[in-house]
């Protein structure tokens, strides 16, 4: 291997040696200096995946999607991203049939137990956004145990959105601000965007640079409404159970083709912008 090739591959994760050539080709086109710090994913299409394969029970799609969660988290950790937030269960999902909700909570509980080795092996720290107090006792206990177990890990933060709604999060943050104001901890003048962001569930994490939605739907579904103000959005028609490393790498490549302006005119002087 030439010195130039060695330099190009120097940042690659060790695991890439085992990746198929097509994924290594995608990796070679990524600029390590322009990777997103935080990726957020709306994991959509589990029910359609199940129906397309003739399954009567939608939960079969959710079960198949566990491998997509595992591969997305592992790949983000290997690429040394800072955070991955997954929209696992929304506030609105409680309105689904009781049988489906019960099955989803059982699946969440099994995931939290079964993936502990994977989290530890990849130095992944688990945290959550939303209202975990809404979860059944068993799921909540396993969530707390996994968060405690991985608290010392220093790699990727895997952030599960559970019983989460973007509007609900903003309202809860506003209530915190009001409580602080009543207690003399916060003045109206002291409540700016930075202070308010510190009251959100995602406090301490960078805002998402990239929002991915699977299954081709063109909406954000009440997900991280404050945080995605300047996120780049990548929509793929691939259903979540079929979303694997190749699709994640393609999303990262798409992200790097974007010009992030934050409302500014590119390459303009302050007088022109």
The torsion angles phi and psi of 253, rounded to 5 degrees, stand at: -65, -40
Structural domain includes residue 262: no
Structural domain of 127 = 34-256
Structural domain includes residue 246: yes
Structural domain includes residue 19: no
pLDDT of residue 106: 98
Structural domain includes residue 273: no
The answer to whether the CB of 203 falls within 8 A of the CB of 226 is: no
Could you read off the pLDDT of 54-63 as tens digits, one per residue? 999 999 999 9
pLDDT of residue 271: 61
Structural domain includes residue 22: no
**Prediction pTM value:** 0.93
Structural domain includes residue 2: no
Structural domain includes residue 101: yes
Residues annotated as part of the active site? 44, 93
CATH, residue 232: 3.40.1180.10
pLDDT of residue 265: 67
pLDDT of residue 2: 44
Structural domain includes residue 126: yes
Quickly tell me which residue has 């916060």 as its tokens. 186
The answer to whether the CB of 63 falls within 8 A of the CB of 254 is: no
The answer to whether the CB of 131 falls within 8 A of the CB of 102 is: no
Q: Residue ranges of the chain with pLDDT lower than 50?
A: 1-3, 5-6, 273
Which of 99-105's residues contact partners 24+ apart within 8 Å by CB, and which partners? 100/58, 100/59, 103/57, 103/59, 103/62, 104/59, 104/62, 105/135, 105/136, 105/138, 105/139
Beta bridge partners of 86: 41, 160
Instruction: Please tell me the total count of domains within the chain.
Output: 1
């Amino acid at each position: 291997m030439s010195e130039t090739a060695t330099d190009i591959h120097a940042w690659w994760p060790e695991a890439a040696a085992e990746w198929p050539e097509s994924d290594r080709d995608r990796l070679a086109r990524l600029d390590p200096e322009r990777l997103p710090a935080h990726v957020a994913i709306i994991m959509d299409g589990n029910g359609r995946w199940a129906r397309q394969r003739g399954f009567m029970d939608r939960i079969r799609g959710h079960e198949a999607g566990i491998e997509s969660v595992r591969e997305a988290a592992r790949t983000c950790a290997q690429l040394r991203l800072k955070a991955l937030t997954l929209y696992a269960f929304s506030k609105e999902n409680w309105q689904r049939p009781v049988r489906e909700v019960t099955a989803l909570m059982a699946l969440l509980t099994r995931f939290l137990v079964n993936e502990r080795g994977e989290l530890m092996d990849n130095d992944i720290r688990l945290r959550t956004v939303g209202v975990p107090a809404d979860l059944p006792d068993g799921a909540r206990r396993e969530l707390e145990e996994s968060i405690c177990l991985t608290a010392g890990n220093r790699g990727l933060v895997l952030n599960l959105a559970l019983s989460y709604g973007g509007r609900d999060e903003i309202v809860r943050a506003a209530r915190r601000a009001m409580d602080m104001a009543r207690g003399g901890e916060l003045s109206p003048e002291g409540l700016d965007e930075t202070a308010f962001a510190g009251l959100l569930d995602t406090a301490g994490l960078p805002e998402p640079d990239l929002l991915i939605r699977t299954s081709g739907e063109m909406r954000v579904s009440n997900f991280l409404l404050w945080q995605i103000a300047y996120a780049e959005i990548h929509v793929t028609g691939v259903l979540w159970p079929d979303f694997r490393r190749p699709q994640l790498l393609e999303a990262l490549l798409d992200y790097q083709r974007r010009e992030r302006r934050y409302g500014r005119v590119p390459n303009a002087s302050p007088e022109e912008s």
